[in-house]
Structure 1
Amino acid sequence: MKTLALNLRRLLLILGFLLTGPALATMTDEVSLDRSWRTTSPASAGIAPDPATTPEAVVQVYGARTVRWRGAFAVHTWISVKPEGAANFTTHEVIGWRFWQSGNALRQRQGSPDRPWFGATPELYAELRGEEAATAITQIEAAIATYPFTGEYKTWPGPNSNTFTASIARQVPALALDLPPTAVGKDYLGETRFLASAPSGTGYQLSLFGLLGGTLAVEEGLEINILGLSFGIDPLDLAIKLPGLGRIAATAG
């Protein structure tokens, strides 16, 4: 009985440690427990360039806190592209309700790429313009066509929207995408793949079903994944990465 009680105490301590960040995140303005689709606006947040005055090709990667209690843990991410001379952005993303309705999680939509996600203001994670963006769009389209999890979706540990964004980013080196620790699912590689390049393309990651693993890369720094929650340190940006709270940098920027 003493051994059982000791093991239970250790388990509770570990769970408490993992959940501290998400619990603190609920106290910030980023997380709202009462958001729903009714709070979603199709209007631009003013981050993306206007296609009417931006003829060059553009690629942008966004993320925003997901809805209700899940926002304490995770963001939803998406990739938007605008070829040279195009009148609109096309946004590519994976959405759970689409999978549950049709069996295909992938969605494409036209319009503002930076519209709020269930009322949460998006954050720009990466951007390319001009010839670099034009090359990346070709790579993105090829990566989407071969994305292996369109017929699968799991909120945790993946495959989900962040699995999709990370998978595409691995095939577009110019993005050098460093997804935040709140992009739960970014470390999911599948049931038979355990080693891959980091999403930024600047290092490597080891992952066991998205539940346990690590990443070592120039852009990401060092990250440890425990039960889908990421802890890390980014020496180049003098930042730490915590579940729920995201990236905390020593200086703004």
Structure 2
Amino acid sequence: MNRLKNCGVAVALLLLSGLTLQAQDSTALNQSEKTIKKYKPFDANLQLRSLYIWRGFKVSDAPISDVDLHYKSKDGSFQAGFWGGASLNGNYKEFDYYVSYTKKGFTVSVWDINNFSDFPNANLFNYNNGSTSHFIDAGIAYKFDFKLPLTLSWNTIVAGRDTYVKANGKRANAYSNYVQVDQVLWQDEENSSLHVFVGGGFAFGREKNFYGDHPNIVNSGLTYNKDLVLFKYHLPVAATAMFSPEHKTGTLQLVANIF
């Protein structure tokens, strides 16, 4: 009888210890999830590029580094920050400000783009459209949540150095537009994907625009994204083959997201 009683006590103790361990494991898991999902309102990212291409322009032939310092809302929908880049040979310099808002597939953004590479005496606070190094780019995009996502975007330069001189001698904004279609052709569970994109530049009522001398396709090509693992360190990289029918140029860019 005593043996049965002792066995019952032992079983009860084992069950209790098992429940305690499960509770501890559950608590540890919850703490781990909280750590992973901890909200960080401010962050910074660093990228290295073999050269720099943007909307069909080869902005820098030399390798560049760029930094994104930003604030992001808790739900991730609103972001505002500063973006800056410089080439290793010192020929390219840029310092931008931006805000963006994303909701249900839609993204609205405004960028103050200040590439002052060709403005040796650039005044950061000069917004006179005849002499400024800035231009203000406003855009809207929608991402279709297909199995292979499709993204449509439209950007318009609303102020700054996108100008022309009218017949009366006065300077006016050209309001150049850039429209792009980006389609994912293939992706896997290891964060690898292949995109194809086509972008055109034009201005209403004018042949010449910010992106070229004629309304035309200015940016097209393929981008391959891959999560490269080096000694357990994940390094997202992207390779883009870009062709510009308007500029009659093409090039290959490699981007590495350091952090």
TM-score normalised by length of structure 2: 0.27
User: Whose relative contact order is higher, 1 or 2, with alpha carbons under 8 Å and at least 6 apart?
Assistant: 1
User: Which structure features the higher share of strand residues?
Assistant: 2
User: Which structure features the higher share of helix residues?
Assistant: 1
TM-score normalised by length of structure 1: 0.27
